[in-house]
Amino acid sequence: MTEYVIIGDGISGSSAAETLREEDPESSITVITDEGEPLYNRILIKEHAKGKLPEAPISIHDEGWYEERDIDLSLNTHVTGLDTDAKTIHTHEGADISYDKLLIATGGTPTQLPVDNSDADGIHHFWTFQDARKIRESADAADEGVIVGAGLLGIDFAAVCGAQGVEGKYLMRGDRWWRYALSNEGAEIMHEGMREKGVEPVFDSGVDHFETDDDGRVVAAVDPNGDRYECDFAGVAIGLTFNTEFLGDIGLEQENGILVDEYMQTNLEDVYAAGDITRFHDVLLGERAQNGSWGSAKEQGRVAGVNMAADDEAEGFQWVSSYSITHFDFPFLSFGHPTLGDDYAERKYSDTEWRRVAFKDGKIVGGVLIGDLSPQSKFKQLMREQRVVADQKEVLLEQTVDLDNLAPPQEQ
Amino acid sequence: MATSSTTSRSLTLRRVESVDAATTVQHVDQLDEETLEAFYRALEGGRSLAATGTDLELGTVVVATDYYRVEPR
Ligand SMILES: Cc1cc2nc3c(=O)[nH]c(=O)nc-3n(C[C@H](O)[C@H](O)[C@H](O)COP(=O)(O)OP(=O)(O)OC[C@H]3O[C@@H](n4cnc5c(N)ncnc54)[C@H](O)[C@@H]3O)c2cc1C
């Protein structure tokens, strides 16, 4: 009987456990998490923090789900070490757990700002359900907020401020939100969305340090220009630090994430990785890439489970990831790798509609759609077909994209 | 006449302000590509959603720019 051990009960770990049970009914499966609750919907906790969604619908599995599948779940258990020769993992309680095949699905932890008082009361990071509960309570009691981190996770804090009636200042380092994927025209639509929620973007800013009162509560953020922004709530979302500390020096190849091939195999025998933590071989892109999205993490967990159970390279991971922002009146969708590529095309259609398509070697590798998401599946189809289309930007920028207007694919 | 709403294969989306604890809720990023496409088409055109070919269950609330409940047409 094969013993599978999975570290992490996020969507990637949990999806691997489910797949393993289906593929290998006689096996022993252990899932270990340092969180105090089984899998919940990490992409809905922002709705709880906004004060809009009760707790119950955010839970995905209760402990009974694992019992029914004969999956051994250890909550509140932090894995502190791994010995690949002895094929055991160590936990903070001093227990050793042996495995035949191991999946590392430990994701990341929000990076703290390296500035004074960044751990003061009232300053929040956003990753777990527990974080969301605290953010909800803190924002509910707050009047003025400061947000740092001009990316996909920072905007959730802006939405929390908007929904909870907190007057927000969104301090950004450059001249716009998500400058790696959006030009000024696209970003301005997002800025306008923030303003409508009562959150003012502040450009060429950031945080030099926070000020606190005598009780250690945040009272202001001071930016590098010396401008002071009073606040009783702050949200920091400047990036993720991957949870690899416990791995120590075991020869596992890493590069700001764990390197895996398309089968989710690491360089070490019988050790797999899945989800946010991987830097995987993206077969569509033709190089290594990283995804930070729910759908991708779920699929990587499934693919890892299939290959672990098969003890073979049975199925490769091939996926176009997407990530939505749902906080404004207009929809927003980022797909694939919009910040990579060597060429792009973009157009603004109205005050709330904008599109960017990114290309590498003439093929679409990602993009951002604001306001009108209708071309998303056509662009994803072109990505999967790996068609060279960068020479036909006009067709891709038509308001209504008709793939029949593209020149037929060239024989390779 | 043999008509029954339970055999209807057509769904519609209704905007809701809030959800209770017993409701199943999905974020739009959980929908598979086909369902996502059908979901946005239904929203834009006020059209119905075919129940087959999508993974949306009756009563589920989908979180998009608003909350939308999947209801029988
Ligand atoms: C606020 C927020 C909003 C988001 N919004 C969206 C969105 O709208 N759309 C989208 O597609 N994606 C979104 N994401 C990203 C998405 O949630 C992640 O990509 C996905 O959940 C990653 O899943 P994972 O299983 O790889 O990692 P995680 O969900 O991070 O799970 C890893 C688990 O491993 C545990 N762990 C770590 N180290 C150890 C250890 N040593 N021992 C034991 N356990 C350990 C962690 O506590 C955690 O429970 C959002 C994320 C956040 C935080």
Cβ separation A57–B21 shorter than 8 A = yes
Domain A330-411 has CATH 3.30.390.30: yes
DSSP category for residue B9: -
Q: What percent of chain A has pLDDT over 70?
A: 99
Give residue A337's pLDDT: 97
Residue spans per domain, chain A: 3-109+240-310, 112-236, 330-411
Q: What is the pLDDT of residues A365-382, one digit of tens each?
A: 999 999 999 999 999 999
Residue B9, pLDDT > 70, answer: no
Mutate to test the interface with B, among A53, A330, A369 (most CBs of B within 10 A): A53
| HEC per residue, chain A | CCEEEEECCCHHHHHHHHHHHHHCCCCEEEEECCCCCCCECCCCHHHHHCCCCCCHHHECCCHHHHHHCCEEEECCCCEEEEECCCCEEEECCCCEEECCEEEECCCEEECCCCCECCCCECEECCCCHHHHHHHHHHHHHCCEEEEECCCCCHHHHHHHHHHCCCEEEEECCCCCCCCCCCCHHHHHHHHHHHHHCCEEEECCCCCCEEEECCCCEEEEEECCCCCEEECCEEEECCCEEECCHHHCCCCCCECCCEEECCCCECCCCCEEECCCCEEEEECCCCEEECCCCHHHHHHHHHHHHHHHHHCCCCCCCCCCCEEEECCCCCCEEEEECCCCCCEEEEEEEECCEEEEEEEECCEEEEEEEECCCCCHHHHHHHHHHCCECHHHHHHHHCCCCCHHHCCCCCCC
| Residues in Cβ contact with A59 at an 8 Å cutoff, skipping those fewer than 6 apart | A37, A38, A40, A41
Burial of A169 (0-12, 13-18, 19+ CB in 10 A): buried
Query: In chain A, which residues have their Cβ closer than 8 Å to the Cβ of B60?
Result: none
Determine contact: B1 vs chain A, CB below 8 A.
no
- Assess whether the C-beta atom of A321 lies below 6 angstroms from ligand 1: no
CATH class, domain A112-236, is alpha beta
Residue B4, pLDDT > 50, answer: no
Give residue B72's pLDDT: 87
C-alpha span between A75 and A368 (Å, rounded):
38
Nearest-CA residue for ligand 1 atom 52 is A127
Cβ separation A376–B63 shorter than 8 A = no
Min mean pLDDT across A97-111, A389-403, B5-19, B35-49 is at: B5-19
Residue A148, pLDDT > 70, answer: yes
Q: Quick one: pLDDT band at residue B1, thresholds 50, 70, 90?
A: very low
**What is the pLDDT of chain A when averaged over all its residues?**
97
C-alpha distance from residue A93 to each of A35, A54, A66, A200, A248 (Å):
15, 33, 22, 47, 18
**Which tokens hold the place of B70?**
């999947």
Nearest-CA residue for ligand 1 atom 15 is A293
Query: In chain A, which residues have their Cβ closer than 8 Å to the Cβ of B67?
Result: 52
Q: Which CATH architecture has domain A3-109+240-310?
A: 3-Layer(bba) Sandwich (3.50)
What separation in Å is there between the alpha carbon of B50 and the centre of ligand 1? 32
Residue A170, pLDDT > 90, answer: yes
Mean pLDDT of A157-162: 98
Cβ separation B28–A380 shorter than 8 A = no
Upper half-sphere CA count for residue A284 (Cβ side, 13 Å): 25
Give residue B45's pLDDT: 74
Give residue A322's pLDDT: 95
Residue B3, pLDDT > 60, answer: no
Mean pLDDT of A312-316: 98
Residue B54, pLDDT > 80, answer: no
Q: What is the pLDDT of residues A58-82, one digit of tens each?
A: 999 999 999 999 999 999 999 999 9
Residue A9, pLDDT > 50, answer: yes
Give residue A340's pLDDT: 92
Residue A175, pLDDT > 90, answer: yes
Q: Which ipTM was obtained for this model?
A: 0.95
Q: What is the pLDDT of residues A245-297, one digit of tens each?
A: 999 999 999 999 999 999 999 999 999 999 999 999 999 999 999 999 999 99
Give residue A93's pLDDT: 95
Mutate to test the pocket of ligand 1, among A43, A89, A152, A260 (most ligand atoms within 8 A of CB): A43
Q: What is the pLDDT of residues B17-40, one digit of tens each?
A: 999 999 999 999 999 988 998 898
Query: In chain B, which residues have their Cβ closer than 8 Å to the Cβ of A292?
Result: none
Which amino acid does the sequence have at A226?
A: G
- Assess whether the C-beta atom of A297 lies below 6 angstroms from ligand 1: yes
Chain-centre distance of CA A29, in angstroms? Answer: 26
Q: What is the pLDDT of residues A210-230, one digit of tens each?
A: 999 999 999 999 999 999 999
Contact A23, A40 (CB under 8 A): no
Intrachain domains A3-109+240-310 and A112-236 with the same fold: yes
**Which tokens hold the place of A357?**
């398509």
**What is the pLDDT of chain B when averaged over all its residues?**
83
Edge to edge, the sheet with strand B10-16 lists: B25-27, B61-63, B67-72, B10-16, B49-50
